[in-house]
Amino acid sequence: MMNYPLLDNINTPGDIKHLKEEELPLLCEEIRLFLIDTLSRNPGHLGAGLGVVELTVALHYVYDTPEDKLIWDVGHQAYPHKVLTGRKDRFETLRKWNGLSGFPSRAESSYDAFIAGHASNSISAALGFSVANRLCGRKEKVVAIIGDGSMTGGLAFEGINNASNSPNDLLIILNDNNMSIDPSTGGLNKALVDLITNKTYNKLRYTAYKGLSSMNLMDKQKKKKVVRFHNSIKSLFSEHRNLFNGFDVRYFGPVDGHDVIYLVKVLRDIKEFSGPKLLHLITTKGKGYKPAEESQVVWHAPGKFNSKNGERLSSSSDHPQPPRYQDVFGETLVELAEMDERVVGVTPAMATGCSMTLLQKRFPERTFDVGIAEGHAVTFSAGLSLSGLIPFCNIYSTFSQRAYDNIIHDVAMQKAPVIFCFDRAGLVGEDGCTHHGLYDIASLRTIPGLVLCSPRNEMQLRNMMYTAYKHPEFCPIVIRYPRGSGHTIEWKTPLEEMEIGKGEKLKEGKGIAVLTYGPIVCNAIEAIDEMQKNGEPTPALYDMKFVKPLDDTILREILSEGYKAVITIEDGSRKGGIGSAILEWFSEYSEQNQSIPKVYMLGIDDEFIPHGSVPEQYAYSQIDTQSILKKIKAVYASLL
- Measured in whole angstroms, how far is the alpha carbon of residue 311 from the centre of its chain? 27
Is 402 an annotated catalytic residue?
Answer: yes
User: In 3D, which of 578, 600, 617 has the Cα closest to residue 480?
Assistant: 578
Residue in 374, 430, 570, 616 annotated catalytic: 374
User: In 3D, which of 221, 250, 268 has the Cα closest to residue 63?
Assistant: 268
Distance CA 57, CA 8 (A): 15
Q: Strands (DSSP E) along 303-401, which ranges?
A: 343-347, 367-369, 390-396
Q: Output the pLDDT for position 592.
A: 66
DSSP state of 302: -
Parts of the chain with a pLDDT under 50:
179-192, 195, 236-237
Q: What are phi and psi of 581, to 5 degrees?
A: -65, -40
Residue in 402, 480, 548, 574 annotated catalytic: 402
- What would the pLDDT profile of 382-415 be if each residue is shown by its tens digit? 999 999 999 999 999 999 999 999 999 999 999 9
Cβ-defined contacts of 491-497 (< 8 Å, 24+): 491/322, 491/323, 491/328, 491/457, 491/458, 491/459, 491/462, 492/331, 493/459, 493/462, 495/332, 495/335, 495/462, 495/463, 495/466, 496/463, 496/466, 497/463, 497/466, 497/467, 497/470, 497/471
Q: Output the pLDDT for position 191.
A: 45
Residue 176 β-bridge partners: 282
Binding annotation for thiamine diphosphate = 76, 117-119, 149-150, 177, 289, 374
pTM recorded for the entire structure: 0.87
Binding annotation for Mg(2+) = 148, 177
**Residue pair 43/96 in contact by the 8 Å Cβ criterion:** no
Q: Output the pLDDT for position 271.
A: 94
Is 374 an annotated catalytic residue?
Answer: yes
Q: Within 13 A of 474's CA, how many CA atoms are on the CB side?
A: 23
Q: Output the pLDDT for position 246.
A: 73
Q: Strands (DSSP E) along 317-418, which ranges?
A: 343-347, 367-369, 390-396
- What would the pLDDT profile of 324-342 be if each residue is shown by its tens digit? 999 999 999 999 999 999 9
Is 272 an annotated catalytic residue?
Answer: no
**Residue pair 478/420 in contact by the 8 Å Cβ criterion:** yes
**Residue pair 121/109 in contact by the 8 Å Cβ criterion:** no
Q: Output the pLDDT for position 189.
A: 43
Q: Output the pLDDT for position 182.
A: 30
* Domains contained in the chain, CATH given: 7-196+248-294 (3.40.50.970), 325-480 (3.40.50.970), 504-639 (3.40.50.920)
